[in-house]
A and B are shown apart, each in its own frame.
Chain A
Amino acid sequence: MSRQTRTGRRASGRWWRFALLTVITLIVLVPVLAVMWLCFRPSSSSSSHAFFTLENLTHVFRDTDVLIWFRNSLVVTFATVLVSVAVAAPAGYALSRGRGRAISGYSLLLFVVQSLPIITAVIPLFILFARFGLTDSLLGLTIIYVGSTISVATWMMAAYIDTIPIALEEAAWADGTGIWGSFLRIVLRNSLPGILSTATFAFLVAWNDYLVALVFLRSSGRFTLPVGIETFFQQHATDWGSVMAVSVVMLLPPAIVFGALNRYFSVGGIGGSLAGR
């Protein structure tokens, strides 16, 4: 076989694979395209005949509680991200640098905890939180989200801190710096990618949660977007334009966060940290 036909065949193979992937991607994205289509088209009740319209979006923001739900979702999500990273980073450091039975026992415990179905926790916590007025409250919701992200977040931080050479810290210790000092000034300062991927994980958990919010939130003023959107289905005929407008509002923040940080966020990192322990 001459060299030319071989490279020619290879090049045509490239385009076949390109065509195949294009078809697959289009099929896979049908639901996402449907959301976009319905969001930016005039709804069935509208008099407009424009091809592209923002009236569904302006309608849901102006006439419904969507702005409040959006704000609630943002507040809960950012609080969860901040607290989870603040708790997981030091714990991950201890898990990464410490040795011994207590540490490996703790790492097994984290593994068990992350496999617990959230429904098991939700019912008793609902009763406990009712006593402190933390049901139907964004604070209560945040506490549960932090609790449910903490095991994986700790692993992710530990796995990242493992990649920071301990020699850097040893030099500091020799100069009389304590563990606190080396943790704050050396490890944390070099952990930005680990922190960002942990933050992305916590962001997705808190932003996407449905079950906990469904159980804990009762009044419309406290709803987050995933439970808020459900109120649109209670009417007899669903106004799909409004539903899809809310869907777009829900979909954009994770898409933006993921798009911006996806090079830090390797799902493999979670698996890798699991494997190492």
Chain B
Amino acid sequence: MSAPEISRTATHGANAPDESDRAPGAAPIGRRHSRRGRSRALTLLVLVAPSVLLLAVINGYPVVYGLVQSTHDSTLISSGAWTGLANYTHVFTDPSFWSATLFTLIFTVVGVFGSWAVGLGLALLLRTSVPGATAFKVLLMLPWVVPVVVSTTAWNWLIATSESPIPKLIHALGFADPMFLSDPTTAKVTVCLFKVWASFPFMMVMMSSALAAVDHALYEASSLDGAGRWQQLTRITLPNIGRSTYISWILMMIFCVNDFPSIYLLTGGGPANSTTTLIVLAYRTVFQNFQVGTGVAIAFVLTAALVLVSVVLYRQIRKVETA
């Protein structure tokens, strides 16, 4: 992780391509308008062109077309009559939109900080000398590598009904069946915990690589000064991995908000819509209730919020970077 940054500062220096563009001995003046400079810019343009084209068709077009749809009485086949902002007022006055918004927030906050706490804890544990650390690292990656469809299937088998192994075990121990997926409140907790289970390996890897970059001498110096473990964690470790932590939070936030299959395959958004997030709500509005205009409007509100938040946070990264 640190290697690209080192070279980046190097390329920012005297070696920047604008400078290196001129061959040794060539006249420095008029470089920007030289034939060579222009052909160089043209080549770079050709190199990015395919990706620009793809972005325009797969990501740009849907945004524009979606804006059109959200202001029309759309169906899956036609755009329908222009209805102005009716779809948006419909969305904002619908209580199910607000309950989905609330659960999206809960799911994201628990997903981000829960997986971070577990991932950081394991990264700290794996940094110390432990027999078989590499094997643990590989095995602990599995929840993240296993396709979500497979892991939700496995969890469904383990907990879905009162006849599943874990509820039976809990019952045998003398406790009441928690109804993991059938009680509205418990289902919320279950879905959030599933997300933590599926995401902590990502955090573990991010935090491990950040911890590896912390200078060891800092710990030696601080223990000479009599710092305890807790002080070392809060005064040395956490400040030194601050930037990586921040980046991993942003990425995880995006992953959580955009997560469709975890929730859809565990609960379908139920029971009684208790685990419906905005993305599940948008899907169901379009493909189950066939209210395309409204569904796209929900997706747009979500998109606008996410883009806004991530651009603000993106700027923040650069500030953290230069600080």
Contact = CB atoms under 8 A, between A and B. Distances in A.
B138 A124 contact: no
B145 interface: yes
Contacts of B47: 90-91, 93-94, 183
A21 B299 contact: no
A124 B61 contact: yes
Question: Which of B59, B77, B148 has most A Cβ within 10 Å?
Answer: B59
A275 B1 CA distance: 10
A127 interface: yes
B40 A116 contact: no
B40 A266 contact: no
A180 interface: yes
B148 A208 contact: yes
B144 to A, nearest CB: 9
A223 B118 CA distance: 36
A179 B59 contact: no
Given A90-B47, A268-B205, A208 B299 contact: no
Question: Which of A86, A210, A258 has most B Cβ within 10 Å?
Answer: A210
Contact of B76 (A127, A147, A173, A275): A127
Contacts of B76: 126-127
Interface string A185-223: 000000000000000000010011011000100000000
A101 to B, nearest CB: 13
Contact of B158 (A30, A110, A124): A30
Nearest to A125: B62
Contacts of B24: 174
Interface string A93-105: 1111111000000
Interface in A228-276: 229-230, 240, 243-244, 247, 250-251, 254-255, 258-259, 262, 266-276
B261 interface: yes
Contacts of B106: none
A50 interface: no
B151 interface: yes
A71 interface: no
Interface residues of B, number: 104
B265 A115 contact: no
B257 A117 contact: yes
A12 interface: no
A164 B6 CA distance: 11
B59 A121 contact: yes
Contact of A14 (B43, B130, B282, B300): B130
A29 to B, nearest CB: 6
B122 to A, nearest CB: 7
B9 to A, nearest CB: 10
Given A18-B132, A25-B140, A90 B48 contact: yes
A247 B150 contact: yes
Main secondary structure, interface of A, reads helix
B142 interface: yes
Given A18-B130, A148-B58, A151-B55, A95 B296 contact: no
Contact of A99 (B18, B138, B140, B317): B18
A28 interface: yes
A87 B299 contact: no
B184 interface: no
Question: Which of B23, B55, B151 has most A Cβ within 10 Å?
Answer: B55
B8 A97 contact: no
A122 B45 CA distance: 28
B117 interface: no
Contacts of A270: 251
A229 B158 CA distance: 17
Contact of B20 (A98, A115, A173, A207): A173
Interface of B: 1-5, 7-8, 10-11, 15-18, 20, 23-24, 40, 43-45, 47-48, 50-52, 54-55, 57-59, 61-63, 65-66, 69, 76-77, 122, 125-126, 128-132, 136, 138-143, 145-151, 153-155, 157-158, 165, 197, 202, 205-206, 209-210, 243-244, 247-248, 250-251, 254, 257-258, 260-261, 264-265, 279, 282-283, 286-287, 292, 295-296, 299-300, 302-303, 306-307, 310-311, 314, 317, 321
14 contacts: A17-B130, A18-B131, A21-B130, A32-B154, A115-B310, A117-B299, A119-B299, A120-B66, A121-B59, A123-B295, A147-B59, A208-B148, A211-B261, A271-B247
Top 9 A-B residue pairs of the complex, sorted by shortest distance between their CB atoms: A147-B58, A31-B154, A268-B209, A91-B51, A90-B47, A124-B62, A124-B65, A272-B1, A121-B62
